[in-house]
């Protein structure tokens, strides 16, 4: 009888221990962590702004997790749970940017991020002409007229987008290219610039290609729109050029 009683007690203890172990496996410990970093502020001509305070950094899906940069651009967000999310960087007078698809594992410790915010471009752009090289149909030329009172030699003054949609825009396009400093030949308010593009991305003769251009700052941090997969370029002048089109020979 005594042996039977001890056996029952042993079985109950084993059952309790087993339940405890299973419960621990079902409820993993989620240790919160820290996201920290720096945000640099630039004007449209790539001049660093000394006071980098006032940038609001927010986890998009958890807006209560946020911070504001100090004069050095530093920010810290504590007690962040593990997850994958987008982080917004905003400041009045500057173009919003994001860190998208950020995978955060809190148990690994602090994460450091670095971002750039820039003032929106004031450069206006007009498309002058589109052409395809008659001898080499794999090369095209876009001629732009750019106007800016703040134009300087080290500024990328325009970004061009092209694609097959007649509603072409900075967020609805197939391909994009930016002017390099070497494209700029003058510091006059208005300059004519030609930049090459690659119509051979579309192989079919008779394909109609649409083009649009925006004034652009010299320095910015782009990000991927997780819904469309397109790269977004902050700081573009919100007023674009007119849309032009060309039919591939």
For residue range 26-55, what is the model confidence (pLDDT) as tens digits? 444 456 788 999 999 998 878 899 999 999
Domain with 96, as residue range(s), is 33-118
Q: Are residues 158 and 103 in the same domain?
A: no
3 state DSSP class of 44: coil
Residue among 112, 100, 40, 106 at smallest CA distance from 76: 112
- Mean pLDDT throughout 55-62? 95
How crowded is residue 74: how many other Cβ atoms within 10 Å of its Cβ? 15
Question: Total structural domains in the chain?
Answer: 2
Which pLDDT value is given to residue 123? 86
Q: Residue 196 contacts by C-beta under 8 Å, 6 or more apart in sequence? A: 139, 140, 141, 142
Q: Which residues pair with 90 in a beta bridge?
A: 56
φ/ψ of 129, rounded to 5, equals -160, 155
Domain boundary (118, 149, 182) is at 118
Residue among 151, 129, 132 at smallest CA distance from 142: 129
* CA-based torsion, 234, 236, 240, 245: positive or negative: negative
Q: Are residues 132 and 231 in the same domain?
A: yes
Q: Are residues 217 and 191 in the same domain?
A: yes
Q: Are residues 86 and 177 in the same domain?
A: no
Q: Are residues 54 and 132 in the same domain?
A: no
The tokens for 128 are 């002058």
Which pLDDT value is given to residue 85? 92
Whole-number Å distance between alpha carbons of 94 and 190: 25
Please give the torsion angle defined by the CA atoms of residues 232, 237, 239 and 243, in that order, rounded to the nearest 10 degrees: -60
Which pLDDT value is given to residue 140? 79
Which pLDDT value is given to residue 150? 62
Q: Are strands 223-224 and 208-215 parallel, antiparallel or unpaired?
A: unpaired
Which pLDDT value is given to residue 92? 95
Grade residue 244 by pLDDT with cuts at 50, 70 and 90: very high
Which pLDDT value is given to residue 90? 96
Cβ-contact 37, 114 below 8 angstroms: yes
Q: Are residues 207 and 225 in the same domain?
A: yes
Q: Are residues 80 and 139 in the same domain?
A: no
Maximum Cα interatomic distance, the chain, rounded to a whole number of Å: 106
φ/ψ of 4, rounded to 5, equals -65, -45
What is the pTM (predicted TM-score) of this model?
Answer: 0.77
pLDDT of 184-196, one tens digit each? 544 445 555 666 6
Place of tokens 């149909």: 137
Q: What is the 3-state secondary structure (H, E, C) of 161-185?
A: EEECCCCCCCCCCCEEEECCHHHCC
Q: What is the mean pLDDT of the chain?
A: 80
- Mean pLDDT throughout 94-109? 87
Asked, for residue 42, whether it belongs to a domain, the answer is yes
- Mean pLDDT throughout 157-175? 92
Residue 91 sits in a domain of what CATH number? 2.60.40.4130
Which pLDDT value is given to residue 134? 67
Asked, for residue 189, whether it belongs to a domain, the answer is yes
């Amino acid at each position: 009888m005594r042996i039977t009683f001890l056996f029952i007690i042993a079985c109950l203890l084993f059952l309790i221990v087993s339940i405890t172990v299973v419960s621990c496996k079902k409820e993993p410990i989620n240790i919160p962590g820290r996201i920290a970093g720096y945000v640099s502020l630039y004007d449209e001509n790539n001049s660093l702004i000394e006071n980098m305070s006032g940038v609001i950094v927010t986890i998009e899906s958890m807006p209560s997790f946020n911070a504001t940069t100090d004069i050095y651009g530093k920010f810290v967000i504590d007690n962040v749970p593990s997850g994958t999310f987008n982080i917004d960087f905003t400041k009045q007078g500057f173009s919003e940017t994001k860190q998208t698809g950020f995978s955060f594992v809190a148990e690994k410790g602090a994460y450091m991020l670095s971002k750039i915010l820039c003032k929106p471009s004031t450069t206006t752009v007009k498309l002058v002409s589109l052409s395809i090289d008659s001898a080499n149909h794999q090369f095209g030329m876009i001629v732009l007229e750019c106007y800016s009172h703040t134009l300087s030699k080290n500024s990328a003054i325009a970004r061009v987008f092209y694609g097959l949609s007649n509603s072409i825009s900075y967020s609805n396009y197939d391909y994009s290219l930016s002017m390099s400093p070497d494209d700029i030949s003058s510091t006059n308010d208005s300059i004519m610039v030609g930049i090459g593009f690659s119509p051979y991305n579309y192989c079919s003769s008779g394909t109609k290609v649409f083009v649009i251009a925006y004034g652009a700052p010299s320095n910015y941090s782009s990000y991927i729109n997780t819904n469309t997969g397109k790269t977004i370029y902050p700081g573009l002048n919100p007023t674009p050029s007119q849309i032009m089109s060309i039919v591939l020979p």
